[in-house]
């Protein structure tokens, strides 16, 4: 499993026969000068919530690739009305796809489309595929539900927001990693805008000082599980 950071909260997850894109926000990212939306391949698009910095390129990417959208019922219905193939989920539900299993889990945040219309409740995903389990938190505050996730899954990686202000910051992300019983964390949702700029060295060293690992990838960089 290869995970590439495409900026902000957008990820590319390459499995043996399928490619997943999480929260596509490429064309509107002011920090991105490396990734072209037209170059991205996808079989599935996973969306955690409706905010524009997570959905801006959903429609274009879905029509470009023919990918199936996986998200909450409201988001899937919104895009199905525009011709996108979708698979709706809701909190606590799991489903076995041809690439592996997804569980849609709670997140504490808000969720609305750019026009202010209702985007359903925000969530995260736990992906189990190719013998690995990865928690993709989406935008969330620290929540004690994470202890349940850590007890139910032997997580190889937790992908957590670390930018603070709109989500938890890196200190709470460390607390989350302890609840999740997962010492390897990939940080995302940081630096894109002024409100969420962080000191990388301070964040990474904070994790190291507490016996955990925080990876902050540059746009286009990857890690492999």
The stretch 52-62 carries a mean pLDDT of 98
Query: CA quadruple 67, 50, 80, 158: dihedral positive or negative?
Result: positive
Cα(177)–Cα(160) distance, rounded to whole angstroms?
A: 9
**Over the stretch 72-128, which tens digit does the pLDDT of each residue have?**
999 999 999 999 999 999 999 999 999 999 999 999 999 999 999 999 999 999 999
CA proximity to 159, closest of 192, 124, 129, 132: 124
- Predicted pLDDT of residue 131: 97
Listed by start position, the domains of the chain span 2-224
Measured CA distances, 210 to 97, 174, 197, 204 (Å): 37, 8, 22, 10
- pLDDT value of residue 12: 98
The mean predicted confidence, pLDDT, of the chain is 98
pTM, two decimal places? 0.98
- Three-state DSSP at 129 gives strand
CATH architecture designation of domain 2-224: 4-Layer Sandwich (3.60)
CA distance 160 to 169: 9
pLDDT in tens, 180-208: 999 999 999 999 999 999 999 999 999 99
């Amino acid at each position: 499993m290869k995970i590439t950071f495409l900026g902000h909260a957008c990820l590319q997850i390459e499995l043996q026969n399928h490619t997943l894109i999480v929260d596509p926000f490429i064309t509107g990212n002011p920090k991105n000068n490396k990734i072209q939306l037209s170059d991205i391949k996808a079989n599935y698009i996973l969306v955690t919530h409706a905010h524009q910095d997570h959905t801006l390129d959903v429609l274009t990417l879905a029509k470009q690739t023919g990918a199936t959208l996986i998200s909450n019922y409201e988001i899937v219905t919104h895009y199905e009305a525009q011709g996108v193939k979708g698979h709706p989920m809701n909190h606590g539900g799991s489903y076995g796809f041809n690439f592996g299993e997804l569980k849609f889990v709670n997140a504490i945040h808000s969720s609305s489309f750019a026009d202010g219309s209702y985007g359903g409740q925000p969530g995260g995903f736990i992906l189990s595929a190719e013998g690995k389990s990865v928690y993709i938190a989406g935008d969330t505050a620290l929540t004690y539900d994470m202890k349940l996730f850590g007890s139910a899954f032997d997580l190889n990686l937790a992908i957590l927001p670390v930018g603070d202000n709109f989500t938890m910051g890196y200190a709470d992300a460390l607390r989350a990693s302890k609840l999740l019983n997962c010492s390897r964390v990939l940080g995302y949702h940081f630096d894109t805008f002024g409100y969420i700029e962080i000191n990388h060295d301070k964040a990474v060293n904070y994790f190291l000082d507490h016996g955990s690992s925080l990876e902050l990838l540059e746009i286009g960089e990857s890690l492999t599980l």
